A and B are shown apart, each in its own frame.
Chain A
């Protein structure tokens, strides 16, 4: 066992006899990192589920486990090298041929994810990462009825607000906005403070000359070349708060690495002339009520045009989107043409259990692509997942080619995210 900074790593073989060792390491580390006993047990159980799953599906393989103090959470990362033929095991609903010749379904990953705040499966080179994230326990805010305030004097935008101001802003958002427009972290202001301190979230607030809170905007960088924001949240009557917050955000990110800016949660106060509309995505809530979420974006750099790949069944969708957005793209059609494909498909997954939201990204498209999509969706539906998305990056012909399989399985293309990945990304939603 070695420790570096605020993480602990161990290397072992996927074998059920080592389960107690993994349990012990997670328990000790999470306790040292200050997690409550009740939560530590959840993490231990999820970790146990993963290692016993790997012992069944990838017996004897070398696994590195890294337990990290993430500021507001503890992250347990299981990483291992997998031959392309073994990658199927990281599917949420993985199937393995038993000695009898029958397919046996393994749902270990899905089981582990149920106890977590976030579960991510991703492939980095040949290394697979299964990442469990459990957040610390924070005080949860309950909304209160408040009256909008009147502003006094000129507004100032505060960069890097102090913790007290962050907490006040979170409370104001929770009090004045419906829950579906509130970033989940804002319900737990202490967690938001830790996320800002850890650099995972950026925030600016607007205050008047009395120091009274007028508005807030927050953002994060989900990838190296894109930024997603939530807001603008406006707490007081008075003009231009939203505009000032947005301009400040654009100045902050305009000379940075990102090529594009997207809304995570856009409020009605967003100044539409600063952004371009990408359309709406429908979210199903716990009570089965649907909410239409507007998605906005803008490029931060000039677009020089380019070529994208697309399955012929989504060409019409893309042509309309590109025309509406005045984006110059040469659409090159791609479809399976009987070439040899890997036997099994593999999808990386990000699950947000609290929202019953799942997002898939293809990593390997195999012969069984359609069947595999159906299997993953069925497993998620069984677990009450209501909002299921597939992201297809049009930079890759092999990803674009699976558009047909998605349509066959009840997915529809909803949104185009320009420069949302290596190239433009189409978001398919399970309808």
Chain B
């Protein structure tokens, strides 16, 4: 038998791609850094936890349901979403986190020689999925920390299949207002799919913030992504979804794995949508208070920071962000380093309850003062 030379079997675009290294589990990190607690301020999780309706579902989840496959197409959740948004269930496709639907959309629309367009300093998964699938990712620099709509349009050609707009953008929190978004969609003029990723939709209270769910009724090339991981705090269950025209959703579903969303996640998501909105208000109040506290500190220390929409902000530190990470970890605080987002020396901080924010401020000041 021949020796296996698996490298020969791997396409060049996969060979040249480095696999993502997720961080170690918290207990391992705590052991490594010698701390007895760890405040997770790195993943924009909602530290309040999910709405109370979800707790009931999780706590009472029957063991007898564990051996049974979930609903393959998330039947009840799609019905719930349809009622919630006033649309039909066939306009929703549910994924194991929105990362899965990103992958499905790219697989459904792109073939050899095609490209996608997005920003260089945004959620990395659009770029990664395109590149490890062999498609070009055209990365447009942000302009004043915003997606540059003019440059994105200029980068389009006949092989452009999808434009990804993260609105509000992770990590800068900036957004396109309704006027900008509509002008952009008018100029795209149905030549390509426009994905509006609204992972942080529920965190935006601005009046001029466009709702992709409404826009798609006038622009059939729009697909909207939303997630239960951020506001609804179901990150551990991995559940997100897309919404588009029924025709587009049917097409994307051909490239989408069924049965990828587990039963508990589906039921928890239905329960989360049943909350009367008080949970969202509490979360927004918590985020607002945290923003005030942190921005005040950064002003006082004369540090450059970016604080817009979403439950996070970014601050530029006068040392490598990877060193700042280690020094904060020694004090039980975990933030997100931004070099991999192409923001060297910036850290992103999730906005959570006041006591934790105060612990962050104390640790942050100690690191800067002892440096």
Q: Which of B314-360 contact A (CB under 8 A)?
A: 318-320, 322-323, 325-327, 329-330, 337, 339-342, 344-345
B33 at the A interface (CB under 8 A): yes
A327 and B326 within 8 A (CB): yes
Give the complex CA separation of A257 and B33 in angstroms. 25
One digit per residue, 1 when the CB lies within 8 angstroms of any chain B CB and 0 when it does not, for chain A 218-259 equals: 000000000000000000000000000001001100111100
Give the complex CA separation of A274 and B346 in angstroms. 11
B28 at the A interface (CB under 8 A): yes
Q: Cβ of B21: which chain A residues have Cβ within 8 Å of it?
A: 301
Q: How far is the CB of A251 from chain B (nearest CB, A)?
A: 4
Give the complex CA separation of A196 and B338 in angstroms. 28
The SS class assigned to the A binding surface is: loop
Q: Cβ of B33: which chain A residues have Cβ within 8 Å of it?
A: 305, 328
Give the complex CA separation of A299 and B327 in angstroms. 13
A306 and B32 within 8 A (CB): yes
B326 and A326 within 8 A (CB): yes
B18 at the A interface (CB under 8 A): yes
A275 at the B interface (CB under 8 A): yes
One digit per residue, 1 when the CB lies within 8 angstroms of any chain A CB and 0 when it does not, for chain B 289-327 equals: 000000000000000000000000000001110110111
B340 and A255 within 8 A (CB): yes
Q: Cβ of A327: which chain B residues have Cβ within 8 Å of it?
A: 326
Q: Cβ of B28: which chain A residues have Cβ within 8 Å of it?
A: 304
Contact with A254, one of B29, B31, B327, B344 (Cβ below 8 angstroms): B344
Q: Cβ of B339: which chain A residues have Cβ within 8 Å of it?
A: 250, 254, 300-301
Q: Cβ of B322: which chain A residues have Cβ within 8 Å of it?
A: 298-303
Q: How far is the CB of A120 from chain B (nearest CB, A)?
A: 22
Q: Cβ of B345: which chain A residues have Cβ within 8 Å of it?
A: 250, 273-274
Instruction: State which size class the interface on A falls in.
Output: 20 to 34
B124 at the A interface (CB under 8 A): yes
A276 at the B interface (CB under 8 A): yes
Q: How far is the CB of B139 from chain A (nearest CB, A)?
A: 10
Give the complex CA separation of A112 and B340 in angstroms. 44
Q: Cβ of B329: which chain A residues have Cβ within 8 Å of it?
A: 328
Give the complex CA separation of A302 and B321 in angstroms. 9
B323 and A274 within 8 A (CB): no
Question: With A255-B124, A305-B29, A328-B34 known to touch, is A300 a contact of B340 (CB < 8 Å)?
Answer: yes
Q: How far is the CB of B220 from chain A (nearest CB, A)?
A: 33
Contact with B344, one of A247, A276, A302, A305 (Cβ below 8 angstroms): A247
Contact with A276, one of B18, B120, B323, B325 (Cβ below 8 angstroms): B323
Question: With A301-B21, A302-B325, A304-B24 known to touch, is A326 a contact of B319 (CB < 8 Å)?
Answer: no
B23 at the A interface (CB under 8 A): yes
Nearest-CB residue, chain A, relative to B322: A299
Contact with A304, one of B32, B120, B320 (Cβ below 8 angstroms): B32
B323 and A298 within 8 A (CB): yes
A304 and B23 within 8 A (CB): yes
Q: Cβ of B31: which chain A residues have Cβ within 8 Å of it?
A: 305
Q: Cβ of A304: which chain B residues have Cβ within 8 Å of it?
A: 23-24, 28-29, 32
Q: How far is the CB of A270 from chain B (nearest CB, A)?
A: 13
Give the complex CA separation of A304 and B31 in angstroms. 10
Q: Cβ of B337: which chain A residues have Cβ within 8 Å of it?
A: 301-302
Please list the residues of chain A having a beta carbon within 8 angstroms of any beta carbon in chain B.
247, 250-251, 254-257, 273-276, 298-306, 326-328
Not counting A302-B337, A303-B322, A328-B329, a sample of 10 additional A-B residue pairs whose C-beta atoms are within 8 angstroms of each other reads A247-B344, A255-B124, A255-B341, A273-B345, A301-B339, A301-B340, A304-B23, A326-B323, A326-B327, A326-B330
By Cβ-Cβ distance, the 4 closest A-B pairs, closest first, are A305-B32, A250-B344, A299-B322, A257-B18
